[in-house]
Amino acid sequence: MALKRLTLAKAVLVLAVVAACASSPGPEREAETPSAASAVRVPGGIVVDFKDGTTKAQFDSWESEWGVDLEFNSVEGPETGVALAMDVEEPDAVLERIRQHPAVESAEPLLLYSAPPEELLAGAGVAPGGEAPWDEAGKDGFTPNDPEFHRQWNLRMIHMPRAWQENRGKGVVVAVLDTGIAYEDHDDFRQVPDLAGVKFKRGYDFVNDDEHANDDHGHGTHVAGTIAQATNNREGVAGVAFEATLMPVKVLNHFGAGTSADIAEAIRFAADEGAHVINMSLGGGGYSKVMADAVEYARKKGVTVVAAAGNTGRGQVQFPAAYPGAVAVGAVGPDGQRAPYSSYGKHLDVAAPGGDKRRGDAGGILQNTIDPRNPARSVYAAFQGTSMAAPHVAAVAAMLYSAGASTPDEVEKALYAGAKRVGGQDWSEQYGHGLLDAQASLEAIGGGGGQWPSLWWALALLALVLLTLRRRERPGYFNILFAPSFLLPLLLASVGVFFMRSLFGGATGLAGDVVDVAYLPIPDWQRIIFGRGRLANPLFYSSLIPLVLSFVAIKVKGLRPAMGGLSLGFAGFLAYAAWAKAPALAYLPFAFLAMPWLVGNAFICLVIARAMLRQEKS
């Protein structure tokens, strides 16, 4: 009963806030960093994230001291620890008292997020037929028999016909956190025809607190269609990863609005229920620690979180895309240029087709969805927005997992390595690492884990080192390859202790931090130390660490095998990075210097490794 009352209270307050926002101009946004000042608060609402294991009986006993009535946000509350209170008088004072309790991880005002309403304007009921504005026909590849595929310029732009010859996302689960999906016939809801035959995994409706995450708005079904619309079925249009499995998770209501509490719980739910990728085509709210922690939780569970950058047209990526660990996606139109509405800035990761309808519906992203006035009616609609761009990236991420990637870092490396550079820049605030290219990203993953090629390069360079040594200087092949003092540093520098993520991926606190560091190769520890920035630190992507440590090994003979392995691991990592053209390096005055920097430092590491191995037997 308490949960039902809470659900009704959330719906009423969200509706009131939506009405208030619609009748008044939005707040000005900061140009550089998203901040809480841009948030829309739900009046009198607060959200508390308790430490795992905290029971309702426990926080009920603390409520009189805090002066608040808390309830778990949903049936997932006992697992997630997320609780909610509505109609709170003086919420800031109450939050100050709650934050002092040792069982509380975070406590903050309840924030409102939404699917941008302008994305749906003039988008419903597009008539079949017409010409595609994108000229690259993609004739050499798999061409589906969907009758409206010729209008999907967006799929040809990212080279899907060729990518489909390699992978279609089979076996990967993509959670769509949105307004729901028209995925089933239930009560007054009907599955849209072009989702017939698509695989679905059990989801949840966090708005109405039930297991039927049906769409009563239209936005979520359109987004889901881009990810995995039924394809080659002689019906409508195609989807990117059409053999993937969709998980419908409803976090936005009929008006396209939802709360930070529901979204945070939904992220955790999706991660716990087996999603490999989470797509969030929503935004507009300010910073929420509860949501940021949820994104971090999902990433530590091995989930790639993809989010729309926002539709402000300004130099500020909105939350949740701006959270560390999320892939922030901007939008381009049919001409491959940044769409005028697309947000951009220092938090942007990659750009993808989002549409530009200034010349009409032909410039939009076409998918099958529902008529929001009648959820039982199916329509084909051309929408535009970063909400439409994000699912392209989420779907390609699914294909990368299906192709062998095992971690979010591997997926991101392949996404960025395959992205088509715009204006010759490895990274820019307008396009991130460039324009999404599904075919090139699959090639970058190499059919296996994104970190494994670094090890193969290191072993190839080891063979080169051994061949260049004279016989009397050459250590025994098997002794070197299987000596722990050599092998462990080689693995740490080239691929990291990769199995730690699968064994201890759920660890939190200090243990979780140790796992985060150890599973990454040493050059990528810069992501932990400096944060997951858009540019790699060139001091870590260099020979500096092996060079400094080699001076110690010159004096201490017993360290030389370890230094040989470490140097070879760095050489393999840097050589593969140069070959894949993956990283964009910070601080270099010109982008083109990244390649000679990587190649030169890989060579220095190789020289160090040779010296360490040779000196061991001299």
CA 417 from chain centre, in angstroms, equals 15
Whether residues 128 and 66 fall in one domain: no
Whether residues 94 and 169 fall in one domain: no
Whether residues 160 and 28 fall in one domain: no
Higher per-residue pLDDT: 284 or 181: 181
Overall average pLDDT of the 547-576 stretch: 89
Higher per-residue pLDDT: 488 or 331: 331
Overall average pLDDT of the 265-290 stretch: 94
| Report for 199-208, 414-423, 585-594: range of highest mean pLDDT | 199-208
Whether residues 242 and 368 fall in one domain: yes
Whether residues 107 and 131 fall in one domain: no
Whether residues 419 and 467 fall in one domain: no
Q: Looking at residue 303, which CATH number applies to its domain?
A: 3.40.50.200
| Residue 156 phi, psi dihedral angles, 5° rounding | -75, -30
Whether residues 103 and 131 fall in one domain: no
Overall average pLDDT of the 144-170 stretch: 95
Binning pLDDT at 50, 70 and 90, where does residue 577 land? Answer: confident
Higher per-residue pLDDT: 205 or 560: 205
Tokens 């409706």, residue located: 205
Overall average pLDDT of the 163-180 stretch: 95
Give whole-number Cα distances, 599 to 573, 575, 596, 603, in Å. 11, 6, 5, 6
Rounded CA-CA distance 184/201 in Å is 12
Which among 95, 111, 127 is the end of a domain? 111
Across 64-68, 132-136, 478-482, 594-598, least confident range: 132-136
Rounded CA-CA distance 576/599 in Å is 9
Residue 448 has pLDDT above 50, yes or no: no
* Structural domains of the chain, count: 3
The C-alpha angle with vertex 350 and arms to 347 and 355, in degrees rounded to 5, equals 115
Which among 61, 90, 111 is the end of a domain? 111
Q: Supply 191's token pair.
A: 């599955």
Closest CA to 155 of 88, 227, 68, 215: 227
Binning pLDDT at 50, 70 and 90, where does residue 305 land? Answer: very high
Whether residues 104 and 166 fall in one domain: no
Grouping H, G, I as helix, E, B as strand and the rest as coil, residue 48 is strand
Binning pLDDT at 50, 70 and 90, where does residue 245 land? Answer: very high
Whether residues 459 and 440 fall in one domain: no
Q: Each residue of 508-553: pLDDT tens digit? A: 555 555 555 556 788 888 776 766 555 678 888 999 999 999 888 8
Rounded CA-CA distance 215/189 in Å is 8
What pLDDT is attached to residue 584? 66
Rounded CA-CA distance 152/220 in Å is 19
Higher per-residue pLDDT: 39 or 399: 399
Binning pLDDT at 50, 70 and 90, where does residue 239 land? Answer: very high
Which among 445, 464, 490 is the end of a domain? 445
Overall average pLDDT of the 336-358 stretch: 95
Q: Each residue of 121-144: pLDDT tens digit? A: 544 555 444 444 444 444 568 999
Name the residue range of residue 333's domain.
118-445
Q: Looking at residue 55, which CATH number applies to its domain?
A: 3.30.70.1140
What pLDDT is attached to residue 140? 64
Percent of the chain with pLDDT over 90: 60
Tell me if 416 sits within 8 A of 138, measured CB to CB.
no
Residue 4 has pLDDT above 50, yes or no: no
Whether residues 483 and 402 fall in one domain: no
Arithmetic mean of pLDDT over the chain:
84
Residue 165 has pLDDT above 60, yes or no: yes
Whether residues 52 and 124 fall in one domain: no
Whether residues 460 and 436 fall in one domain: no
The reported pTM is: 0.80
List active site positions. 178, 219, 387
Q: Each residue of 60-119: pLDDT tens digit? A: 999 999 999 999 999 999 999 999 999 999 999 999 999 999 999 999 999 999 987 766
| 71-72 β-sheet, strand order | 71-72, 82-85, 41-50, 104-114, 257-259
| Report for 38-42, 440-444, 512-516: range of highest mean pLDDT | 440-444
Overall average pLDDT of the 483-489 stretch: 86
What pLDDT is attached to residue 126? 53
